[in-house]
Amino acid sequence: MSEITWLEGGAERSAQWRSESGWPAPKKVVLADDTMTADAAYRLALDGTALLWRGDFQNARQLLNALVRRVDHKSDRTRRAKAGKQQVTPTELFHRHRLQQLQRARTLAMLLIPFEAGHVIPLRRAPDVAEACLEAYGPADSPYVASLRELLGVIGAHEWRRKGVRIPALDAHIHPWYGVFSPVRGEYVELVAQAPLPPGAKLAFDIGAGTGVLSAVLARRGIERVLATDMDARALGCARENIARLGLAGQVEVIQADLFPDGRAPLVVCNPPWLPGKPSSAIEYAIYDPDSRMLKGFLNGLVAHLEPGGEGWLVLSDLAEHLGLRPRAQLLGWIAAAGLEVVARHDVRPTHGKASDPDDPLHAARSLEVTSLWRLRAKA
């Protein structure tokens, strides 16, 4: 980790800097407390000056909420002004939206919280966040500084992990870890739960297992052995914990591998990130696939890992098509070039809130979105 430095009491002080988004430590840091107004804090944050909080913790949360209102109000005005001047393509709208979201996150990350060793916050009315931070960061043997916004994300992830996400196809809960994408969009899980299995399939590969939810669904459907792969340490730990919690450790083995394990299987399942693009933080690797690396890697390696007559299941949204990021013809071209053909496609409409929210900046594309399970096999 890098260090963050600031002046306090006439002397230079420093601590370790933590940022799950990978942002560098702010160069300009001022002390802030309960006397700072939201307008003053907003001006400093826009200027790239970080605010190291020394006041009441709950007041810091109120200040962050005030910053959110100011940032979002400005974003709404900017979006309306641009929309009134010219028509933009869905692709341009998407890139503008991503840039606005990145700028929003950067501004809101300027409110910083100090931590002592053991993840203790030395502020009035500060909550006990040691367990949540230990889950996300691991042990902390020395003081550090992190953004309040990131801390709230850590706390929220801790609650997700504790309560879990109910998966109807399992009649059970999946417990996502911090930094591992939560299976809150249940339509793709239902597709895997309902698609017809290849005849006699006793072995399956789950490529990019994440929380392990699809591996668990396959095991519950009667697949005798599932090999689940991932490269991310958090995902590997999360999947193993969920599989053990569900009593499926005898059927599902979670291993570290870049895409495919060794060997062949009659069923190979992959739910890659749905949008081509560069992630701006660790959690976005579950959403954005740089240069479609995982998607193309799955397709290009599938024939070599399928048993004769086997199927590869590609779970993918067509949102990228409606945003102009990846035409359907390109996807079909990659499938054909990999020596594959489409056996069938099972479609479902998403049910998440943004799909029906007319105020969402990407509503026009989201309202058309379809999630599909592509059943693929090697060309005869």
Average pLDDT over residues 294-299: 97
The top-scoring range by mean pLDDT among 34-48, 87-101, 352-366 is 34-48
C-alpha distances (whole Å) from 137 to each of 24, 65, 158, 235, 354 are 17, 25, 12, 14, 30
Q: Which residue is it, tokens 């949360």?
A: 61
Q: What pLDDT is stored for residue 80 in this prediction? A: 57
Q: Is the pLDDT of residue 83 over 60?
A: no
Average pLDDT over residues 38-48: 97
Average pLDDT over residues 350-361: 75
Q: What pLDDT is stored for residue 22 in this prediction? A: 87
Q: Is the pLDDT of residue 375 over 80?
A: yes
Q: Which residues pair with 32 in a beta bridge?
A: 53
Q: What pLDDT is stored for residue 168 in this prediction? A: 95
Q: Is the pLDDT of residue 237 over 70?
A: yes
**The residue type at 159:** E
Q: What whole-number distance in Å separates Cα of residue 297 and Cα of residue 338?
A: 10
Average pLDDT over residues 94-111: 93
Percent helix / strand / coil, the chain, rounded to 5: 40, 25, 35
C-alpha distances (whole Å) from 192 to each of 206, 243, 265, 329 are 11, 17, 16, 24
Q: What pLDDT is stored for residue 152 in this prediction? A: 97
Q: What pLDDT is stored for residue 353 in this prediction? A: 67
Residue 110 phi, psi dihedral angles, 5° rounding? -80, -10
Q: What whole-number distance in Å separates Cα of residue 231 and Cα of residue 208?
A: 8
**pLDDT exceeding 70 applies to what percent of the chain?**
96
Q: What pLDDT is stored for residue 85 in this prediction? A: 54
pLDDT band at 21 (very low <50, low <70, confident <90, very high): confident
HSE of 15, CA atoms in CB hemisphere, 13 A: 22
| Burial bucket for residue 343 (CB in 10 Å: 0-12, 13-18, 19+) | middle
* Helix or strand run (H / E) with residue 169: none
Low-confidence winner among 175-179, 199-203, 287-291, 297-301 (lowest mean pLDDT): 287-291
Report DSSP letters for 51-113, one per residue: EEE-S-HHHHHHHHHHHHHHHHHHHHHHHHHHHHH----HHHHHHHHHHHHHHHHHHHTTEEE
Per residue in 210-241, is it b (16+ CB within 10 Å) or e — as a string?
A: bbbbbbbbbbbbebeebbbbbebebbbebbbb
C-alpha distances (whole Å) from 175 to each of 160, 183, 208 are 7, 9, 17
Q: What whole-number distance in Å separates Cα of residue 167 and Cα of residue 186?
A: 7
Report DSSP letters for 259-278, one per residue: S--SS-EEEEEE---SEES-
Alpha helices in 316-379 (DSSP H): 319-322, 328-337, 363-366
pLDDT band at 144 (very low <50, low <70, confident <90, very high): very high
Q: Under a CB-based contact definition with an 8 Å cutoff, are residues 64 and 86 in contact? A: no
pLDDT band at 84 (very low <50, low <70, confident <90, very high): low
Q: Which residues pair with 183 in a beta bridge?
A: none
**pLDDT exceeding 90 applies to what percent of the chain?**
84
Q: Under a CB-based contact definition with an 8 Å cutoff, are residues 259 and 229 in contact? A: yes
What's the pLDDT tens digit per position in 256-271?
Answer: 999 999 999 999 999 9
Average pLDDT over residues 157-186: 94
pLDDT band at 77 (very low <50, low <70, confident <90, very high): low
